[in-house]
Amino acid sequence: MVTFIYKLCTVLYIVQYVVTHNACEYNDNTEVNYVSMSKKTHEELDRWSKEVKRGAVTLAILALLSKRKAYGYEAVKLLDEKMSFLALEQGTVYPLLRRLEKRELLLSEWDYEDPTKPKKYYAVTEEGLKALGAMAQTWSVLSREMRDVITEVE
């Protein structure tokens, strides 16, 4: 999480540039289209956007699974409904679920109710709840402070 915050802060100057120079616009799907900037800057913003989304997906998965068990595909669909900006794919979520399970933030169990389609359900562990609390608090403070910084620039 510290690495994520550090990376997010290191690109603050880019955010300030984008805001002060009106270098971005939004389409109907809240996707950002960057205009009048160099290819190098565009690539940096794409990398930054991916890092922000990666942190957001981790937080969102833990939050979702803290409320109820879900299997991978179900988690993708539930988050897609609530956070279409993330544009989640199963190929993104499944490795994350395995990584969080390996770090003991999630636990899983197989459901063989339909033997032809077993489902692996995930739930948040006690350690996962602690991590979720810390991540949510960090996200809240960071987003508030970012809003303040961006508002000052406008």
The DSSP code for 86 is: G
Residue spans per domain, the chain: 43-151
Cβ(64)–Cβ(75) below 8 Å: yes
What class has domain 43-151? mainly alpha
At a CB cut-off of 8 Å and minimum separation 6, what does 58 contact? 96, 100, 135
pLDDT in tens, the chain (154 residues): 445 444 444 444 444 444 444 444 545 554 555 556 788 888 888 888 888 888 889 999 999 999 999 999 999 899 888 887 777 777 888 999 999 999 999 999 999 999 999 999 999 999 999 999 999 999 999 989 989 888 877 6
Phi, psi of 36 (to 5 degrees): 45, 55
